[in-house]
Amino acid sequence: MKHHRLAYAAAAALLVLGAAVRGAAAPTNSPAGVEELRKQFEATIREVQRQAMEAAKVNRQRYTAGLVALEEALQASGSQLSAMLAVRAERTRFEQSGDIPASALSENLPAVRKLQDNWRALTAASPRDQAQKIVAASERYLQSLALLQKELAARHDAPGVEEVKAEKERLLGNNRVREALALLQTAAPPPANPPPSTPVKPPEPPPVAAAPAVLELGGYKFYPPGKEPPKKDLRFQHMEFPSSDQRSAQFFYDLRVSVTSDKSDVSVTHSSTYYSVSRTKSGSIATIPRITLSSKNRELPEGCKMVIEYFSQPPGRANDLRREKVEHIPLPPLARTRSYTVDGKGISLYKSESSSTYSGRSGWGREFYGLIISVFDAKNILLYQQCTPSAVAVQCGTKPVEATKTWSNE
């Protein structure tokens, strides 16, 4: 009998202990903290931006692949040399510019025009799709913050409540979120079922005066897309945003940048002695940028300017970066969905490089390294900024750098 009472007592103790362990291991239902919620939100925004960049890359690849397939089909059919050359010219143009302006739309090849229309439709929809995702993520974030604030208030955690309120204010003042919301509001599609109305024949539109082929302002010429003079050896520059805040400006404007180099002043000399053979290449190399500025969903007002910062480094070294020149270009107004192309004055840098079978290689002088291109309004408020390569991003500022007064090589 005593043995049974001990067994019952041991079983009861085990039950109590098991309940205690289960209670200690049970997960809490309290919401995540501010820091964790912020990390989740920022991770979501980065993923949205990554998806947009990946989609743009896929669209470019699909368009190029479509042109390649069309060229091969024309080759196989025979008697299509003219069309093949036109398709190849369009592929070369697109690979250099990365864009399809209205002036580049094909009028004679329906197959090319279909590919172009599809690319333009996908590209036009991308900013709005990205903005919708950013706004949706922001709304979910605000909802999570509201739940957290309610939980903290129930626990009488006054400092925690204030931290949540501060985070909410930070989100509501975030430029990326505000720009995304503004894009959705300004670019909202028409209602699916508009109210019926009696069709009225519109009056004949007045004749529209042809826009000038070229605008001139402050010593610079601004060309409509496709009207700029040809330049040899244009090298497309991959421009990057210096910060996540600046990335939101891609909803409203776009920059396409290429550079060309003039090496006509460079000379090469050879010499030889009993001990060695030497070769020296020296002279000034002029680097000139060609910039196409496009307005997507916001006009560029009167009085804006473009600031180009040129950077150099010694030949073969990347540890002596220097802002070499600063150029200010006054900009004419730019209406929505319009573009123009302008050539900068560029920089001319002298360098000398020698190679010898006796002493090896040596060099001195400076060579072009990269650019920062910024657009400011009449009050010097930064509207858009990109740079290349990413190493010069640390030099980016929100105020215009004073223009260099002289353009002679130092």
pLDDT digits (tens, 9 = 90+) for 145-156: 888 888 889 888
What's the confidence (pLDDT) of residue 123? Answer: 85
Q: Compute the mean pLDDT over every residue in the chain, rounded to the nearest whole number.
A: 81
* Residue scoring higher pLDDT (279 or 138): 138
Residue 206 lies in a domain: no
Same domain, 230 and 176: no
- 142-146, 197-201, 310-314: which range is least confident on average? 197-201
Do strands 220-223 and 277-295 pair parallel, antiparallel, or not at all (unpaired)? Answer: unpaired
State whether 248 and 358 are in the same domain. Answer: yes
DSSP helix/strand/coil, 117: helix
Bond preceding residue 389 cis, omega within 30 of 0: yes
- With beta carbons less than 8 A apart as the criterion, state whether 303 and 329 touch: no
Q: Are residues 318 and 259 in the same domain?
A: yes
Q: Which of the listed ranges 76-85, 165-174, 200-209, 281-290 does the model predict with the highest average pLDDT?
A: 281-290
- Written as six digits, the tokens of 26 are 């049970």
Using alpha carbons, select from 304, 306, 309, 322 the residue that is nearest to residue 379: 304
- Per cent of the chain over pLDDT 70 is 82
Other beta carbons within 10 Å of 278: 15
Phi, psi (deg, nearest 5) at residue 310: -100, 135
- End residue of a domain, out of 162, 186, 210: 186
Are residues 230 and 156 part of one domain? no
Question: Which residues form the domain of 295?
Answer: 223-395
Distance CA 18, CA 11 (A): 11
User: Given phi > 0 = left and psi -120 to 50 = alpha, else beta, which region is 219?
Assistant: left
Above 90 in pLDDT, residue 177? no
Cβ-Cβ contacts under 8 Å for 230 (sequence gap 6 or more) = none
CB 316 within 8 A of CB 197: no
For residues 8 and 236, which has the higher predicted lDDT (pLDDT)?
236
Model pLDDT for residues 357-405, shown as the tens digit of each residue: 766 677 788 999 999 999 999 999 999 999 999 899 999 999 999 998 7
170 shares its domain with 285: no
Whether residue 175 is found in the same domain as residue 237: no
Of 133, 191, 182, residue with least CA distance to 298: 182
- List beta partners, residue 268: 281
Please identify, among 168, 186, 204, the residue that sits at the C-terminal boundary of a domain: 186
Q: Is the pLDDT of residue 288 over 90?
A: yes
Asked if the structure places residue 29 within a domain, the reply is no
Let me know whether 281 and 233 are in one domain. Answer: yes
Number of structural domains (the chain) is 2
For residues 172 and 94, membership in a common domain is answered with yes
Q: Scanning the structure block, which residue is given the tokens 């070369």? A: 92
Give the span between the Cα atoms of 337 and 342, in whole angstroms: 17
